[in-house]
Amino acid sequence: DIQMTQFPATLSASVGDRVTITCRASHSIGNWLAWCQQKPGKAPKILIYKASSLESGVPSRFSGSGSGTEFTLTISSLQPDDFATYYCQHYNSNSRTFGQGTKVEIK
Amino acid sequence: QVQLQETGPGLVKPSETLSLTCTVSGGSMESYWWSWIRQPPGKGLEWIGYIYYSGKINSNPSLMTRVSMSVDTSKKQFSLKLNSVTTADTAVYYCTGTSPRGRDYWGQGTLVTVSS
């Protein structure tokens, strides 16, 4: 089974900061990785699919990169609406595995 | 744009069967992978399994023995049954649909509480 390791678990940052979250797969997964944002009491919202494709309607300050085993989500300039928990997920037609999540907090 | 809506009882007794249905709109059931995901209160996300329009199923090995899924393409619905539930199965349950190009759509989720 593929294991996903996401870090950091918590990130304290200020509005305007550049933020990077990393996700590492135990085996190569190509580009079958998505990033989602979750706010308390709400369903996860997909930001990035296939490692680097920006979902429709998602601000361009969000970007994803990587392939194989190492992936990153970057927020170029953190906005007040971005304080939330972020998850990476490996997905394909056979299985799906989630990272442990990164909580982005106000510094 | 694919939209999904979960429906089912919000309260299930221990040892009984949890049953949920997901209704799909705006997409073709024949093209997508349909899945169930859950999130216990205050915890992370756990994949339960996939079902395809053909009825083929892939399940999380940790839940495989208790999970059954079905699909009804004529009603544009797919369903989850989880038997012998315990309080550890209390969670928000989400249904999702994934396109062949990797776009992933989620329902709003439904809380299922296991309690006597």
pLDDT digits over B1-51, tens only? Answer: 899 999 999 999 999 999 999 999 987 888 899 999 999 999 999 999 999
Q: Give the residue among B77, B38, B85, B43 at the shortest CA–CA distance from B60.
A: B38
Please give the pLDDT value at position A67: 97
Summarize the confidence of residues B80-85 as an average pLDDT.
98
pLDDT confidence tier of residue A107, bands split at 50, 70 and 90: confident
Summarize the confidence of residues A23-37 as an average pLDDT.
96
Summarize the confidence of residues A56-82 as an average pLDDT.
97
Report the chain B residue with the minimal C-alpha distance to residue A100. B44
pLDDT(B77) > 90: yes
pLDDT(A15) > 90: yes
Amino acid sitting at position B96:
T
The answer to whether the Cβ–Cβ distance between B101 and A50 falls below 8 Å is yes
Distance CA B49, CA A10 (A): 29
- β-pair type (B110-114, B11-12): parallel
B73 CB contacts (<8 Å, ≥6 apart)?
B29, B30, B53
Which burial class, exposed, middle or buried, applies to A4 when counting CB atoms under 10 A from its CB (0-12, 13-18, 19+)?
A: buried
B11 CB contacts (<8 Å, ≥6 apart)?
B112, B113, B114, B115
Which one of B33, B44, B58 has the shortest CB-CB distance to A101? B44
Report the chain B residue with the minimal C-alpha distance to residue A6. B44
Please give the pLDDT value at position A94: 86
Distance CA B95, CA B105 (A): 9
> Could you give the percent of chain B with pLDDT greater than 90?
89
Summarize the confidence of residues A18-38 as an average pLDDT.
97
Mean per-residue pLDDT of chain B? 95
pLDDT confidence tier of residue A8, bands split at 50, 70 and 90: very high
| B103 contact A CB<8A | yes
Side-chain half-sphere CA neighbours of A79 within 13 A? 7
Which one of A32, A87, A95 has the shortest CB-CB distance to B102? A32
> Could you give the percent of chain B with pLDDT greater than 70?
100
| B10 contact A CB<8A | no
Distance CA B46, CA B82 (A): 14
Mean per-residue pLDDT of chain A? 96
How long is chain A? Answer: 107
**Which of A50, A96, A100 is the best residue to mutate to test the B interface, defined by the most B CB atoms within 10 Å of its own CB?**
A96
